[in-house]
Amino acid sequence: MTIAGTTPSTRAEVLDALRRGERFVLVTHENPDGDALGSLVAMQSVMRALGKDSLMFIGRDEFPLPYEYAFFEFDDLITEVPPDVLERTIVFLDCGNFDRNAVDIGDATIVNLDHHHDNTHFGTINHVDPAASCTAEIVWDLMRGLDVPLTPRIAEALYVGLVTDTGRFMYENTGPAAHVMAADLIEAGVDVHEIYRRLYEGVPEPKLALLTRALQRVQRFDGGRLTLARLTREDFAETGAEESYTEGIIDHLRAVQGTKVAALARELTGAEAAGRSKVSLRATDGAVDVSLIARAQSGGGHRQAAGFATSMGPDELVAFLRQEVAAQLDA
Ligand SMILES: [Mn+2]
């Protein structure tokens, strides 16, 4: 199966680069989510099956990972950039953009595998498919192109990427290929209920307390088309919640009748991040492209799910969001 939206030539180029290369390092974005980690773990297993010298990089400051992903087992994990990185092919998974100026990677070959429609095509080879439900779907396709057999381990990692990035098969990005892929993974031994339990149950109590606070603080604007909640540093401190516990809160905001755009703003808790907030955005239908709003603040994402960081205060943020939503809906 060729994934819609990518040209056969970039797929062939990637397959060729993966077959020919001998040493690789696999990387993903910061604050890695289920798709980032699942794609990374699956790709590492694929590279090992091909007999490659492949390392998987996750920065030291990403640990501990969010509790729902703590079950992942990482083979050949490195938390520091390897000294020979420039001699390795660097495979980026699920990264919409990459600041080449921030990290010196010289002339290293970069393979860019992603599904963000606003991917900046920063790689040497860019295999970017916005029609793919998740990066795991792209890895699944490449695995087949490389004739690597699907093991239970690969299947489980890919399934985590698939189920998290599609909102359990309910977001708009869930195409036929996502379900064909799910069938393939389940046939290979994925225990669907067990993965559901790991990802969505076992919620720490502070996470519930944080959700309670967010729901108490819902604000609606312009007839309800903008639904917003804010979480402060005090909320995190007083509930004992970690930053990653905000995961899923925005789905409650998005679900409110009449909402076109849902926004969750949370103050960053790190000492160096004082006064800065992270804003997550979700669109409920095709009427608003939230990636445009995020990009106006140097963020990015998908049409229906995007985010940005900002130093704007609460009032300024509300004014900005109302104006951006109006610019798209009232044009
Ligand atoms: Mn993804």
Tell me the pLDDT tens digit for each residue of 137-181: 999 999 999 999 999 999 999 999 999 999 999 988 899 999 999
Lowest mean pLDDT among 33-42, 99-108, 186-195: 99-108
- DSSP assignment of 185-244: HHHTT--HHHHHHHHHSS--HHHHHHHHHHHHT-EEEGGGTEEEEEE-HHHHHHHT--GG
Q: Which residues have a beta carbon within 5 Å of ligand 1, which is an ion?
A: 35, 94, 134-135, 165
Lowest mean pLDDT among 19-28, 96-105, 179-188: 96-105
> Rounded to an integer, what distance in angstroms lies between the CA atom of residue 298 and that of residue 265?
16
Domain 205-329 has CATH 3.10.310.30: yes
Distance 170 CA to ligand 1 centre (A): 15
Asked if residue 7 has pLDDT above 90, the reply is no
The share of the chain scoring above pLDDT 70, in percent, equals 96
Distance 120 CA to ligand 1 centre (A): 15
Residue 197 burial (CB < 10 Å; 0-12/13-18/19+)?
exposed
* pLDDT, greater one: 29 or 105: 29
Question: 């492209």: which residue's tokens?
Answer: 289
For residue 56, what are its two tokens?
Answer: 């998987």
Instruction: Name the residue ranges covered by the structural domains of the chain.
Output: 8-200, 205-329
Asked if residue 1 has pLDDT above 50, the reply is no
Q: What is the pLDDT of residues 191-202, one digit of tens each?
A: 999 999 999 998
Residue type, 208: L
Distance 2 CA to ligand 1 centre (A): 19
Distance 1 CA to ligand 1 centre (A): 20
CATH code of domain 8-200: 3.90.1640.10
Distance 132 CA to ligand 1 centre (A): 9
Residue 182 burial (CB < 10 Å; 0-12/13-18/19+)?
buried
* DSSP reduced 3-state for 302: coil
Q: What is the pLDDT of residues 102-135, one digit of tens each?
A: 667 778 899 999 999 889 999 999 999 999 999 9
Q: What is the mean pLDDT of the chain?
A: 93
Question: 């006064």: which residue's tokens?
Answer: 275
Mean pLDDT of all residues in 25-44: 96
What is the torsion angle, in degrees rounded to the nearest 10, for the CA atoms of residue 96, residue 316, residue 273 and residue 300? 0
Q: What is the pLDDT of residues 217-268, one digit of tens each?
A: 999 999 999 999 999 999 999 999 998 899 999 999 999 999 999 999 999 9
pLDDT on residue 89: 96
DSSP single-letter state for residue 94:
S
What pTM value is reported for the model?
A: 0.87
pLDDT on residue 96: 87
Distance 214 CA to ligand 1 centre (A): 25
pLDDT on residue 5: 47
Distance 135 CA to ligand 1 centre (A): 5
Distance 136 CA to ligand 1 centre (A): 8
Asked if residue 2 has pLDDT above 70, the reply is no
pLDDT on residue 302: 87
Split at pLDDT 50, 70, 90, the class of 204 is very high
Distance 330 CA to ligand 1 centre (A): 30
> Rounded to an integer, what distance in angstroms lies between the CA atom of residue 90 and that of residue 123?
9
The answer to whether the Cα torsion of 170, 231, 117, 328 is positive or negative is positive
Question: 């076109």: which residue's tokens?
Answer: 260
> Rounded to an integer, what distance in angstroms lies between the CA atom of residue 62 and that of residue 286?
33
Distance 34 CA to ligand 1 centre (A): 8
Distance 234 CA to ligand 1 centre (A): 30
Asked if residue 34 has pLDDT above 80, the reply is yes
Residue type, 304: Q
Cβ density class 92-127: b for 16+ within 10 Å, e for less: bbbbbbbeeeeeeeeeebbbbbbbbbbbbebbebbb
Element (H, E) at 267: strand 261-267
* pLDDT, greater one: 271 or 10: 10
Residue type, 166: T
Distance 21 CA to ligand 1 centre (A): 25
Mean pLDDT of all residues in 19-44: 96
Is the distance from CB of 116 to CB of 90 less than 8 angstroms? Answer: no
> Rounded to an integer, what distance in angstroms lies between the CA atom of residue 294 and that of residue 221?
19
Distance 106 CA to ligand 1 centre (A): 26
Element (H, E) at 134: none
Distance 247 CA to ligand 1 centre (A): 14
pLDDT on residue 234: 96
Is the distance from CB of 48 to CB of 24 less than 8 angstroms? Answer: no
CB under 8 Å to 42, separation ≥6 — which residues? 136, 139, 140, 143, 154, 157, 158, 161
Is the distance from CB of 331 to CB of 324 less than 8 angstroms? Answer: no
Q: What is the pLDDT of residues 301-310, one digit of tens each?
A: 889 999 999 9
Asked if residue 287 has pLDDT above 60, the reply is yes
Distance 67 CA to ligand 1 centre (A): 19
Distance 198 CA to ligand 1 centre (A): 19
DSSP single-letter state for residue 2:
P
